[in-house]
Amino acid sequence: MAMVPYKLNEDKVTKLQLNALEKVLDKVFARIGMDVEFTKHFLDRVNDIRNKKQITVKELAVLFKKEYVKWGKPIARMGDDAEGVMSDLASDVNIPFVLNWNPKKKELEMYAKTIMRKKNFSTPDKKFKVEEVPGTSTTSVAGAGSNPQGIVIVDRRRGLHRQPRLLKRFRKYMDD
């Protein structure tokens, strides 16, 4: 019997990775009284070839972080049987979800129904859009040089509209 070579796709999201992410998200979203759940269809669709580019666990974590920071409380206030879509404009990842009240746990459960990478995703449900948030970039800044993490540091001691201060000994050269 001949063995067929099998190439493991390391970028593919596994059930174990999704379960680990769910545990972390449950701890974070518990602060606003929510529990995050992923459906079986979600796992199937996260690894679908129609996404063009594989959706990674890191992208999922970044999207949920941005959503929690910007839209966490408004989503929690939507209540039972509400539906919406989390959309990341930076990565074009969209996650339709539904909220259900669990009387046993006394908390809202957010079921991530499916996921897709698609520009201009249209839906009749409310969209919770997020863009790039400082410190959550999935790519590094081009030309970062000795800054491999791509961290951008901005000195805000002086306003952007004001010229930098020039030492007295150099001012005479500026008039020329």
* pLDDT tens by residue, the chain, 176 residues: 444 443 445 578 899 999 999 999 999 999 999 999 999 999 999 999 998 899 999 999 999 999 999 999 999 999 888 999 999 998 999 999 999 999 998 899 999 999 999 998 888 999 999 987 555 454 434 444 555 555 555 555 555 566 556 666 666 666 54
- Does residue 23 form part of some domain? yes
Q: Tell me how far apart the alpha carbons of residues 52 and 48 are, in angstroms, rounded to a whole number.
A: 8
- Does residue 139 form part of some domain? no
- Other Cβ atoms less than 10 A from the Cβ of 56: the count is 17
- Does residue 150 form part of some domain? no
- Does residue 2 form part of some domain? no
- Does residue 137 form part of some domain? no
**DSSP string computed for 118-130:** -TT---SSEEEEE
Range of the domain at 80: 15-130
| Amino acid at the residue 64 | F
What pLDDT score does 39 carry? 92
- Does residue 7 form part of some domain? no
- Does residue 99 form part of some domain? yes
What pLDDT score does 154 carry? 55
What pLDDT score does 174 carry? 61
**DSSP string computed for the chain:** -PPPP----TTSPPHHHHHHHHHHHHHHHGGGTEEEEE-HHHHHHHT-GGGSSPPPHHHHHHHHHHHHHHHHHHHHTT-TT-EEEEEETTTTEEEEEEEEEETTTTEEEEEE---EE-TT---SSEEEEE---TT--SSPPTT-TT-TT-------SS-TTSPPP--HHHHHHH--
Contact 94, 114 (CB under 8 A): no
Number of domains forming the structure of the chain: 1
- Does residue 56 form part of some domain? yes
What pLDDT score does 131 carry? 85
